[in-house]
Amino acid sequence: MRSPLPILIAAGLLLFQALPAVAVDVKIIANESVQADSISMSDLRGVYLQEKRTLKGGSLVVPVLKKSGAVHEAFLRDYLNRDSQEIQTYYEGLTFSGKGSMPKELDSDEEMVAYVARTRGAIGYVSATAATPGVKVLRIESGKRDERILTNRVEPAYPETLKQLNIGGIVRLRITIAPKGTVEEVQLLGGNPILAEAAIEAVKQWVYSPAPTRTTTEVSIPFDQHR
């Protein structure tokens, strides 16, 4: 009689491969010189996109990246709404234009904690389970008070040729909203360039609730040929 062991092993491997990836939790750390004890999502994005140099309290901050890994990918996805290729291209653009530079990159949680601990103004990220001696952990604010309410949305015109060819996808945009609520600027972050033209044209007509200052946000515009 044939041994069932190989069959059991094969079944176990298939089950293991079918399991969903485990979610990775990230915590934000900062040098003790940073006066803030919390940071909003918008401020965190601003720091890493090098649009902000200081946090509340006037502390100068310098972003630090990990080179790769699950924690790095989770941070880019959950906090910056980008992947590793997109953020690399973004920093290359800043460097080329002279508007910024590539942040310091480190290999591990241990290296990140050590560097942030000894570097004034440094801010970084590690696994939620990592030990963090010598640094402070920043609480992430909900940010709800900073949200702009979309009061008028114009849907994009789906190019008929692309729709017939079943070409769809998601266009990701970064938009700048004026204090009065109109969209001042639209930047393409990802997606089909032809679909992007239609998305940008529509988003430029959106209107948000008024706010004391200019704000930025990121939006995703789906093009589904089955809808």
Give me the CATH number covering residue 51. 3.40.190.10
Whether residues 96 and 190 fall in one domain: no
Position with higher pLDDT, 5 vs 179: 179
Determine what percent of the chain is predicted with pLDDT higher than 90. Answer: 38
Confidence at residue 4, expressed as pLDDT on a 0 to 100 scale: 52
Number of structural domains, the chain? 2
DSSP 8-class letter at 173: E
Q: Span 13-22, mean pLDDT? A: 37
Confidence at residue 224, expressed as pLDDT on a 0 to 100 scale: 75
Confidence at residue 36, expressed as pLDDT on a 0 to 100 scale: 87
Is there a domain that residue 168 lies in?
yes
Confidence at residue 126, expressed as pLDDT on a 0 to 100 scale: 95
One-letter amino acid at 118 equals R
Is there a domain that residue 82 lies in?
yes
Whether residues 194 and 205 fall in one domain: yes
Is there a domain that residue 5 lies in?
no
Residues in contact with 101: Cβ distance below 8 Å, sequence separation at least 6, in sequence order:
50, 91, 94, 95
Whether residues 157 and 218 fall in one domain: yes
Confidence at residue 23, expressed as pLDDT on a 0 to 100 scale: 47
The band of 19, judged by pLDDT with boundaries at 50, 70 and 90, is very low
* Closest CA relative to residue 205, chosen from 184, 188, 221: 184
The length of the chain is 227
Q: Tell me how far apart the alpha carbons of residues 75 and 23 are, in angstroms, rounded to a whole number.
A: 11
Q: What is the CATH number of the domain that holds 189?
A: 3.30.2420.10
Whether residues 154 and 138 fall in one domain: no
Quick check: 94 and 83 in contact, CB under 8 A? no
Confidence at residue 120, expressed as pLDDT on a 0 to 100 scale: 94
Whether residues 46 and 140 fall in one domain: yes
| Domain region containing 88 | 26-144
Whether residues 136 and 160 fall in one domain: no
